[in-house]
Structures are given as structure tokens and as C-alpha cells.
Structure 1
Amino acid sequence: MELYFLGTNAGVPTLQRNVTSIGLRMLDERRALWLFDCGEGTQHQILSSPLKLSKLEKIFITHLHGDHVFGLPGLLSSRAYQGGTTPLTVYGPPGTERMIMTTMELSQSRLNYDLSIVEHTGGVLFEDESFIVESALLEHRIDSYGYRITEKDRPGSLDPAKMAEYGLKPGPLFGRLKRGETITLDNGDSLRPEDVLGAPKRGMVITILGDTRPCDNVQPLAINADVLVHEATFLHDLADTAHEYYHSTSKQAAEAARAADAGQLIMTHFSSRYKDEDQLQPLLEEAQSIFPNTKLAIEHELIPVVHRKSES
């Protein structure tokens, strides 16, 4: 899995940064792309990226402020022209469906793919054999949600030495064991997957928060996450301003990552007062003094998701 930041600015776009949108590329896991928020200009940013709308499977909206959703109608309308004809599901807070459908109706837009819209107020939003997506309410001027994406543990690798002990050679039986099936050997004995598989491979956990000031639901969403994506709109010398506008500082983002024992913190949603990467360095230094494994979200940078601690 890889994160790709399409927009990292707060409020309005600038010449240096676009407004919020984050791609989660999951080509190895499910040959899919998930998108988190869709600020104005997102589809244009995608044209300059390695992301493909033909792979887009789900969009998760954190909240309905314009810098997080004004790019959504355009992207939905033009997705098919970039090869996106497979079903698409949009998850968002109450009001998401009305916003999308009103825009589509008034613009007389026609979609040639199946669009599902799931409104929620938190909880488990999606689960299949590979992933669970949960959400919880944060603290912002309007309802804003954070998302926790948990990849389920995967079977361990086949142990060649153990397979040889049972006289097994590469073939269909290998696949059945990897899928968790018990097989019958030529001598009639049963062979369980756990007899020849290594330890399960721990799945990744990614937490992506919407706009928020510090609140109780941050930690349960972020606990033990391999990667925490947290807004850091201001330096901490503007903590009063951040609180007034329901945002967080870089210090508060770092404190959240440390309290949750996250593996890595990626800060985003920067105030336009910080014009370029050089002016963002004080935010990075402030956060790293509390949580060293912190980085700034840089647009058009592909960030691999790695385990927070090495597997034993």
C-alpha cells in the first residue's frame, strides 16, 4: 500500500499547494485505489500522478467543507472518460448524497457506471475478507470524521522444508493450503495449513483524520496505527487560533501520534500562511521534537506504508 497526496493545503489552493485529497493505492492488495476527500482540482492533480481513475473503488469524505468536496462532482462526472466504468462507492457524513445528487441533477450529468452513496455517523463502514474500515466523529465546526483502515492478517508463507517433509511439490495443493484449507495426502493423512505455514503476516493499519482540534476520538482511531495522517494547520504559537477555528497545531499532531504509539506521522492541511516547503520546516521540527518519525505531506510524493515495528 502507498499513500499519495494530491492536495495538502487548508482552506483554499495556492500556487504551491492544492486543497485536500489523499490517494491510497492498493495495487498488490486488491488492484484498487481509494480516495480520501476530493477538494477542488483533484481530478486535475490525478492527471499529473501515477493514480488511475480506472482503479478507483471507494471515496471516503471526511466532512462537507468545500476544500474537501468541491472537486467531487467533476471527478464523478468525468471519471468514465479516464477508463473508470466499474462500480464506485462514496462514503460520507449526512448530506453527502444530497450534495452529489443535486449537483448531478442540475448539471444533467449522466454516469455510465454504478454509483453508491453511503452516509454514516461513524462505526464499521465496510468489511470484507481483507479489510475493515471504521470511522468516528472528530471535533470541527461541522461534523468531521476520521477513518481507520485495517488490513486483516494474511496467511504466512509456505515453509519449503516442511513441505518437503510431507513429500509435497509445487502445484494446486500449495494454493489450497495458502487459502486455509486442510488437504488429504496420498497416504490418507490430513495436512492442516498451520503444519506447513509460517506465522501470519500482520496487516497494515492506516488512520486518516479529517479536520479536527484535539479530541477524545483521535486516540482510538489512531492506536497502534502504522501511519497516522493528521492535520497540522498551524505552528503551536498559534494554538489559540487553531482552537478557535477547530484545527490542530503540529505539536498537537505529534502528541496524538505519540499517545497512540503510531509508527509514523504524516502532517498535512497546512495554512496558506506557510508559502512553501522551507516555511513548513518549523512545523516539521516542532513535531519531530515530540515524535521523531514525522514527515510533511508533499504533493505528488508516493509514500510506501510500512509496519510500525519489524515483525519478529
Structure 2
Amino acid sequence: MELQFLGTGAGMPSKERNTSSLALKLFEERGTIWLFDCGEATQHQILHTTIKPRKVEKIFITHLHGDHIFGLPGFLSSRSFLGGEETSPLTLYGPCGLKDWVIFTLQLTKTHLNYPLHFVEIHEGIIFEDDQFIVTAKQLEHVIPCYGFRVEQKPLPGELLVEKALKLGVPKGPMLGKLKSGEDVTLEDGTIVYSKDVTAPPKKGFVVTVLGDTKYCHQSIELSKDADIVIHEATFDYSTKKLAADYGHSTNVDAANIAKEAAAKYLILNHISARFLPHDLDKIIKESKNIFPNVFVANDFSLFHWKNGRLTEGNEDK
């Protein structure tokens, strides 16, 4: 799993930061990408990455402020013009009103999509589940309805203990694959070899919490409980905490307190106001680390890798 930030600014684009969008790359898990928010010029940002729009399977919208949705019509339209293989279906998850706005915009501009577009109007609770993932939503505290999402990967099958299976008489070949996938097998002599006897215990999947615009609130803590990675807005810093309260936003200190109280592993600060320039980031990180140690600040195109229970930041090979 990888996280790539396409836009990390707040309110409007600046020279350093575009408006909100985040790509959750699930290539190893399911061969697709999930987007969270799609601010203005998200498709332009994608051009500077290796992301292929056809690979975007789902888009989760936190709320209907323009800096989180104004890139949607362009992205949806361009996804039809890519040519090549048939474009796969796309599902949009968002608050009440998202479907009306998107459909009206497409109809008014006579935009035709060559792929199925599905809508899921989100409410609190589980909004998606399959055999790999569960996505839970909760409403946060902002000036309009706004949601946070908890993405939980279900436990992964344990590693096959090959040597143990071979000692029990299982021949090399398809039977080993069946055992690895959880299926019991019967040998030629009638002996049954049970998958549970030759596989290690299931491995815990990852948990990523993506929070929309919000004040400090208990819903954020609930969504972030024991999460591996929490992505939290930090529109303001501690010196501008009154502005944060007035506008329904959080400071970097609020975000650090959320991660600490939720017993999360890592925190990524996002949605940074244009008032903060690159040289201000060290102070923002230092303030946050005084409360919660494992903190990163996201910049446009930041790429984070999750592997073996560790989060690292690295570059993309373009």
C-alpha cells in the first residue's frame, strides 16, 4: 500500500500546494487506486505522477466545499477520453447532494461518460465492505456536513509452512496452493491435511484513517483508534488556534492530540494553509512532535510507503 498526496492545501490553490486530493494506491492488494477528495486541477496533478485514471476504482468525498470537489467534473470527463482498453466502472461516495451536483454538471455540459458511474450517499457506519476491506464513515465537526473515513484491511492469510506440509506428504504443486488459500487437501492415501495445521496465523491488515475538514472532536478519535496511519488536517498552527475554532478547522496540535488519544502509530498532517511557507514546516512538525512523536507533513506529490508495519516517505519513479 502507498499513499500519494496530489493536493495538500487549504481553501484555494497556492504556488506550493494544490487543493485537496489523496490517492490510496492498492496495487498489491487489488490492482486499483482509491481517491479521497478531488479538488480543482486534480487531473493536472495526476499528470505529474504514474497514476492512471483508469485504475481509480473509487472516489470518497469528505464534503462539498469547492476545494474538495471542483476537480471532479474534469477528472470524470477526461477518464472517458483515454482510449485503449475498456474503462472500468467508478463509484463515488459522498454526502447528500454530491450525486445531484455531478449529474447536473455532466448533463448541462453534455458530457458523456463511456463507463458506468455509481453513487453511494454516505451516512455514519459501514459504507463499503468486501472480502478485503471495510470502510467506515463518521460525521465530523465542520461548518457543513463533513465525513472522515476509516479504511481497514481484513486479516491476511498466514504464510504457508512449506516444509511442514512436505513432511506431511503433500507433493509440490497445486495442493500447496490450495493449502495456502485455506483449503484442506486429501492425499492419495486418503490422509487429510488441514490448512490450519500448515499455515501461520493470519496477519493483521493495515488501518488508514482519512479525516476531512474538522475541529478537534471525539469522532476523529473513534475513527483513528489504533490506526496505523492517521491523515488529519492542520489548516492552522497553535498560534492561530482561534482562527481554527472560528472556521471549523484544526491546528497541528489538535491533530497530534487526536493521534495520541487514539493510540495511532503515525500521523500525516495535511490541508495546510497558504499562510505557512516551506520554512514554517519545521516549527509545525516540532510543535506536533512535542505531543506525538511519529509525525510527517504532506506536500504535493509526497509518496508514503507502508511495509512491514512501518511508514516511510520516498520518491516516485516516473
TM tier, smaller: over 0.9
RMSD: 1.4
User: Any stretches of 5+ residues in structure 1 without a counterpart?
Assistant: none
Supply the AA of the counterpart residue of 1:180: G
Query: Deviation at 1:170?
Result: 2.8
Aligned length: 309
Q: 1:82 Cα shift?
A: 3.1
Q: Report what 1:80 is aligned to.
A: 80
Question: Partner letter of residue 49 of structure 1?
Answer: T
Look up the equivalent residue of 2:105 and give its one-letter code. T
Partners of 1:290 and 1:183 lie apart in 2 by 52
Q: Which residue of 2 aligns with 1:126?
A: 128
State whether residues 61 and 68 of structure 2, in contact with CA within 8 Å, keep that contact through their aligned partners in structure 1.
Answer: yes
Q: C-alpha separation between the residues in 2 aligned to 1:308 and 1:156?
A: 16
Q: How many Å separate the matches in 2 of 1:169 and 1:23?
A: 43
Normalising by structure 1, report the TM-score: 0.96
Q: Which residue of 1 aligns with 2:267?
A: 265
Partner of 2:25: 25
- Shift of residue 117 of structure 1? 0.8
User: 1:227: which partner in 2?
Assistant: 229
Per the normalisation by structure 2, the TM-score is 0.94
Matched letter for residue 259 of structure 1? E
Residue matched to 1:291: 292
User: How far, CA to CA, are the matches of 2:305 and 2:171 in structure 1?
Assistant: 34
Identify unmatched segments of 5+ residues in structure 2.
Answer: 312-318
1:279 matched to 2:280: yes
Q: Secondary structure at the match of 1:98?
A: helix
How far, CA to CA, are the matches of 1:174 and 1:204 in structure 2? 26
Deviation string 1:89-122 (CA, Å, 9 cap, x unpaired) is: 0000000101100100110000000000111122
Deviations 1:288-308 (A, max 9, x none): 111110000021121012465
CA contact (8 A) 2:150 2:208 kept: yes
Give the CA deviation at 1:61. 0.1
Query: Residue 166 of structure 2 contacts residue 172 of structure 2 at CA under 8 Å; is this kept in 1?
Result: no
The answer for the alignment partner of 2:12 in structure 1 is 12
- The residue aligned with 1:194 is 196
User: SS in structure 2 opposite 1:91?
Assistant: strand
Please state if 1:53 is matched with 2:92. no
Q: 1: distance between equivalents of 2:194 and 2:80?
A: 46
Worse-matched range after superposition: 245-254 or 181-190 = 181-190
User: Does structure 2 retain, via aligned residues, the 8 Å contact 1:264–1:308?
Assistant: no
Task: Indicate if the aligned counterparts of 1:229 and 1:267 stay in contact, CA closer than 8 A.
Answer: yes
Task: Indicate the residue corresponding to 2:64 in structure 1.
Answer: 64
Secondary structure of 1:57's counterpart equals strand
SS at match of 1:136: strand
How far the C-alpha of 1:279 sits from its partner, in A, is 1.8
CA displacement at 1:309 relative to structure 2: 7.5
Q: Matches of residues 96-135 of structure 1 in structure 2 within 5 Å?
A: 96-135=98-137
Conserved in 2, the CA contact under 8 Å of 1:20 and 1:67? yes
* Counterpart-to-counterpart distance in 2, 1:126 and 1:247: 27
Answer with 238-247 or 174-183: which moved more: 174-183
The separation in 2 between residues aligned to 1:278 and 1:174, in whole angstroms, is 55
SS in 1 for 2:107: helix
- Matched residues in 1 for 2:310 and 2:59: separation? 29
Report the residue type matching 1:66 in the other structure.
Answer: G
Q: Deviations over 1:65-108 (max 9, x none)?
A: 00000000110011122357100000000001011001001100
